[in-house]
Structure 1
């Protein structure tokens, strides 16, 4: 088998997909049926599902930077569904199922790797909360259970079970937890959408939104105005300012979120491990790098800069969990902008402006929700504004109806 692969790799005759690249840039048309603001994972996924499953191809995805260059490129690529509420678990479980088949659907390897997520409990109260989460997850089809320290030691032999004098009492083991290559996900969706007729326009910034008689009619861009029948906003951390351009407010506050990665070492860690008390998580990539992340910065800011205080805090917590990491060399550090709601759940669906739809409020990244967001937002457009049942709990109107979907504390970080 290895010799066969080597022969295949060195052969000049093996099948090569000539249209593997995205189409060359084109001129903007003056009108589209659908304009999607934001060329990250959610934006191109929506365009893909519109084109493939609903036959809607007169679509323009407008990205002020480059494909997947915002929060899609600034996350730690975690995929999971171990949330607190039935609404959250059902939604994210549907996304996990889509992720599992995504490489086959694209005929493009997104490097999906189901490795599990382990969240550590250090207090009796956390153990009780984890037991409830495990039952909610199992009820809606997830693979989540509470395990004891002995099982944790077998699962992660290198873990310090008494970090910062906070003994590990139990762990929430989420077998469905996975990772995927974030840029591959964005490129797979973009490639599938553009091959079916949708257009991706990079370096195209939306500077204004046209609203007439309560209905969206188009957008202004740095390349000129565009008329549109439907506009979808999927701009992550910049959701609140973009909504203001359309004339309404979103209950969002933006915070920087930082992470970092070390130089690669020999594999020693399969699952993602996080601590509910230290607010830190650690995972090892397929290349051997150690990814370290945690909660958002404690103050609002529209800036994707990294800072020394957060670095020191995260690294000290990571070393408490895995003491030998103190000898590791840091390779790079990055940050993105998170858009947080008061109930730590997203805002999806209708807005106060007719035919202007929202995909926002993803907090510490919506990467894990990329497939299901694209699928449900496409269904929303194709149905003429009928909100899919799966995302009804996340409507903007829930804040007026006091029907929040409280996911605060759904992981060891902020979201």
Structure 2
């Protein structure tokens, strides 16, 4: 059986794609060029489909279009480099313990795809299912956890409500005493949840899509979308015009601006979401820990760093700069949960952009402009949905109708009032 290493190359008995351990060392010391994981290709004047956004959603859609539907004359365009947007600015947490049946089914399919993604792409995405804890600090939160547990179980997703003693057993460093400002009354425990290496997922999908013949064009900004008689005819870019009958908006942060180019208004607001990491320490935190009351989530990376995040900033903005206010707030809240971390030092912080919809669920599928599709409005939970979104949107583009798994997330729900309210499971971020 062929496994994968961190670079995504299959290896058997110590050999990597024809390289022995010695030849790998010699190649590294010689400073010669490694073969590219995907090609730099000439921009064609036309494609069967153009995907705007070179993150996990856009690349996954291109990959599944080629793999599942034989549609390979596809271009993925990114204004910068692939994975340089939300896919490279998240905290890489995966879970499926959402609140609505539609959301649970959708994210559970994504977790299932993630479980086999390394083998599917022949690229080690470093998926670690270490469990996910959502802490409850009051009676209302406990009721919500019980509600989510029952919805999860009805959809076949493993979740349960546990008490403070079980929480302490899973995470000994948590302060579960009754004397704290926000005592831990219990938690929603979701064993399938975990973390993944976000850049590995992006690179794996890019390499696999390229191998199927998909064209990946970095540093190619879309400046306009051509619409004639109510349907898409092409896109304008900084490298020239591309004729195409199908355009997918798979961007984060600028999704409403891209949709405006096609004359389609999106009920989306963009907010910064900040995160930070500490210096690396000995591994001690196996489980992802989330507190909605304190607006904080924390996990430990394979390098030993603690990765912190919070809810989105309280103001709409396109800024991706960190703030001292965030640092002070996140440090205080983490220490309320785990006082023993007081002497740890923060190494760096960053921000990404989150497109929030009124009901905290994404917008997926066709729009009033024929041939213009959207996969947007992901808020703080887009990365965990990458595989299932790619699979579903590929089917939507190829078959020209939304598959059942995303039928509830259409743009028309905001006119009909059929909202998919996920604030209770998504408002904290992760």
State the TM-score bracket (shorter-chain normalisation).
over 0.9
Is there any run of 5+ residues in structure 1 with no aligned partner, and where? Answer: none
Structure 1: 4+ residue segments shifted above 2 A: 4-14, 18-24
Query: Are 1:44 and 1:61, in contact at CA under 8 Å, matched by a contact in 2?
Result: yes
Instruction: Tell me the equivalent position of 1:359.
Output: 375
What corresponds to 1:298 in structure 2?
314
Partner of 1:378: 394
CA 1:29–1:261: 2 relative to 1, 3 Å: same
2:267 corresponds in structure 1 to 251
Q: SS state of the match for residue 32, structure 1?
A: coil
Give the one of 188, 210, 224 matched to 2:240.
Answer: 224
Q: How far off is 1:64 after superposition?
A: 0.3
302, 305, 322: which one pairs with 1:289?
305
2:172 equivalent in structure 1: 157
Paired with 1:200 and 1:171, the residues of 2 have a C-alpha distance of 43
Alignment pair present for 1:12 and 2:28: no
Tell me if 1:135 matches 2:150: yes
- Aligned pair 1:270/2:281, yes or no? no
User: Residue 320 and residue 380 in structure 1: after superposition, are their counterparts in 2 closer, same or farther (change >3 A)?
Assistant: same
| 1: CA distance, partners of 2:41 / 2:15 | 39
Q: Secondary structure at the match of 1:113?
A: coil
2:57 to 19, 36, 42: 42
Counterpart in the other structure of 2:341: 325
Contact 1:348 1:358 in 2 (8 A): yes
How far did residue 365 of structure 1 move? Answer: 3.6
Q: Which segment drifts farther, 405-414 or 97-106?
A: 405-414
Q: 67, 70, 77: which one pairs with 2:92? A: 77
CA separation in 2, counterparts of 1:365 and 1:335? 14
Compute the RMSD of aligned alpha carbons.
1.9
CA separation of 1:36 and 1:224: change in aligned 2, threshold 3 A: same
How far does residue 24 in structure 1 lie from its aligned partner after superposition? 3.4
Is the 1:274–1:412 Cα contact (8 Å) retained in structure 2? Answer: no
Please report how far the alpha carbon of residue 256 of structure 1 lies from its aligned counterpart in structure 2 after TM superposition.
0.2
1:83-136 per-position Cα deviation (integer Å, ceiling 9, x unaligned): 000000000000000000000101110001001110110111111111010111
Gaps of 5+ in 2: 1-12, 28-32
TM-superposed deviation, 1:412? 6.4
Distance 2:176 2:256 in 1: 42
Taking a change above 3 Å as real, the CA distance of residues 115 and 74 of structure 1, as seen in their structure-2 partners, is: same
Deviation per CA, 1:369-411: give whole Å up to 9, x if none. Answer: 000000000001110x111000000000000000000000214
Counterpart in 2 of 1:348? Answer: 364
Alignment TM-score, normalising by the size of structure 2 = 0.92
Work out whether residues 210 and 220 of structure 1, in 8 Å CA contact, stay in contact via their aligned partners in 2.
yes
Distance 1:70 1:172 in 2: 31
What is the SS of the residue equivalent to 1:359?
A: strand
Residues of 2 paired with 1:394 and 1:305: CA distance? Answer: 31
Equivalence for 2:8: none
Matched, 1:312 2:324: no
Partner of 2:82: 67
Q: Which of 113, 120, 132 is the matching residue for 1:117?
A: 132
Counterpart for residue 126 of structure 1: 141
Report the count of equivalent residues: 409
State the TM-score, normalizing by the size of structure 1: 0.95
Q: Which residue of 1 is the match for residue 384 of structure 2? A: 368
Is 2:320–2:350's contact at 8 Å kept on the other side of the alignment?
A: yes
